[in-house]
Amino acid sequence: MIAPALPHPDEMYRALLARDASYEGTFWLGVRTTGIVCRPTCPARKPKRENVAFFSSLDSALEAGFRPCLRCRPAEHAGTPPLWAADLLDRLRAAPQQRIRDVELRALGLDPVRVRRWFVRVHGTTFHGYQRALRLGRAMHQLQGGTPVLATTYDAAYESPTAFREAFAELFGVKPGEVGPASAAPLIARQITTPLGTMLGIANDEGLCLLEFADRPMLATQLRRIRQRFSAPIIGGSHALLDQVERELKEYFAGERREFTVPLRIQGTEFQRSAWDALRKIPYGTTLSYGEQAHHIGRPDAQRAIGRANGDNCLAIIIPCHRVVRADGTLCGYGGGLWRKQRLLELEAGVVGR
Ligand SMILES: [Zn+2]
């Protein structure tokens, strides 16, 4: 993943004075005098330049101790792409084989640099990388469906068959001519913003494979495991199931959803699956101790192994490992950080306001 870069502070300050909506999703501003973080278009009175701290993500502003503004509500809007980005994504969905170059972006009135920044921040790849992954993912689907390599090459809009073969082999580790119906389709990854920070979602057509807080130390390990378990590459992109997760998470954080309906693609040993099944039976708003969970799956001797299995859960929130606490009720061990576990339990207990 490429680190997102911020525009020049002068440019950002001008954008916030003008309430320029095209900067939505590019930066957030923390106001030092009030301790509040806002979107560039916030209707509140504009702060003095020297009191503003700029952030490339809402998470980094929250981490720095700023609280979300009650007027522009940055957390609620964070997951929604700005209008120009939604329009670009619509264009790609309508015609995934087309190629939108910088000159086309400018013709649409968009600054290629700003487009790149937004895609790097939200999708972990440049706009061109995003388009390439879409075209290659589509090529993989076509080859699996029996479309001849040559026709697929043309459709993928590569300059030459060689360029296509090379790009394809680099992404999937298999040559286009070697793809069979059983070859693994790529897993689609995309970031999802929540009030507790950015999450990474990964899905294929069968279900959601991973949902994790993006700053989780174990994430790299989880990604490697997912790649191995599915024998498939992970590419950035969009997927209907990831859109569904995003919607359901939004409702969950608004206190309007207690159960998730997105299909899950759970991969694990028999023991892990029984531990995770037990987690999914813990009702919203309640907690269980490790001992009770061990008792529920008929393995009262296996508390430590259960703790490990809970830690290996890679579907945070949906498989609610945050609902397991120590026998004395105190919190312990949560991959996403104890502060998040605390906030999730408070949310479910109805303690935190909306
Ligand atoms: Zn605001």
Mean pLDDT of 109-127: 79
Question: Does residue 29 have a pLDDT over 90?
Answer: yes
Residue 91: CB partners within 8 Å, gap ≥ 6? 98, 100
Asked if the model's pLDDT at residue 3 lies above 60, the reply is no
The amino acid that residue 328 corresponds to is D
Check pLDDT > 50 for residue 353.
Answer: no
Query: What strand order describes the sheet that includes 28-31?
Result: 52-55, 28-31, 36-38, 67-68
DSSP type of residue 315: B
pLDDT digits (tens, 9 = 90+) for 148-168: 888 887 777 777 888 888 888
| Distance from Cα 194 to the centre of ligand 1, integer Å | 17
Q: What is the pLDDT of residue 278?
A: 93
| CB-based contact 262:241 (threshold 8 Å) | yes
2 — pLDDT class (breaks 50, 70, 90): very low
The whole-number pLDDT of residue 5 equals 65
The percent of residues in the chain predicted with pLDDT above 70, rounded, is: 92
Task: Single out the catalytic residue among 72, 209, 314, 321.
Answer: 321
User: Across all residues in the chain, what is the average pLDDT?
Assistant: 84
42 C-alpha to ligand 1 centroid (Å): 4
Annotation says 321 is catalytic = yes
Domains of the chain, earliest start first = 9-73 (3.40.10.10), 270-349 (1.10.10.10)
The full 3-state SS of 214-262, as one line of letters, equals CCCCCHHHHHHHHHHHHCCCEEECCCHHHHHHHHHHHHHHCCCCCCCCC
- Interacting residues of 271 by C-beta distance below 8 A, sequence separation 6+: 302, 305, 309
Residue 207 scores a pLDDT above 60: yes
Beta bridge partners of 198: 193
The contacts of residue 190 (CB under 8 Å, 6+ apart) are 122, 123, 200, 201, 236, 237, 238, 239, 242
CB neighbour list of residue 235: distance below 8 Å, 6 or more residues apart: 133, 136, 137, 171, 186, 187, 188, 189
| Residue 209 known to be catalytic | no
Among residues 134, 318, 79, 78, the alpha carbon closest in space to that of 208 is found at 318
So what's the pLDDT on residue 85? 83
Structure tokens at 167: 């790009």
Q: Mean pLDDT across the stretch 60-84?
A: 78
Asked whether residue 10 carries a pLDDT value surpassing 50, the answer given is yes
Q: Check whether 102 has a pLDDT greater than 90.
A: yes
Residue 89 predicted with pLDDT over 90: no
**Top-confidence range, 6-10, 268-272, 326-330:** 268-272
Helices and strands, counts by H and E, the chain? 15, 10
DSSP 329-346: S-----TT-HHHHHHHHH
Could you report the per-residue pLDDT of 249-294, keeping only the tens digit for each?
999 999 999 999 999 999 889 999 999 999 999 999 999 998 888 8
Whole-angstrom distance, CA of residue 210 vs CA of residue 198: 13
Region of 159 please: left (phi>0), alpha (psi -120 to 50) or beta: alpha
Distance (angstroms) between ligand 1 centre and the Cα of 40 equals 8
Please tell me the predicted confidence (pLDDT) of residue 137: 79
Q: CA-CA distance, 79 to 198, in Å (whole number)?
A: 9
Q: Do 276 and 297 form a contact (C-beta atoms < 8 A)?
A: no
36 versus 180: the higher-pLDDT residue is 36
pLDDT for position 215: 65
Binning pLDDT at 50, 70 and 90, where does residue 200 land? confident
Give phi and psi for 154, each to the nearest 5: -65, -45
Confidence band for 124, pLDDT divided at 50, 70 and 90: low
Residues with CB under 5 A from ligand 1 (ion): 38, 42, 44, 69, 71-72
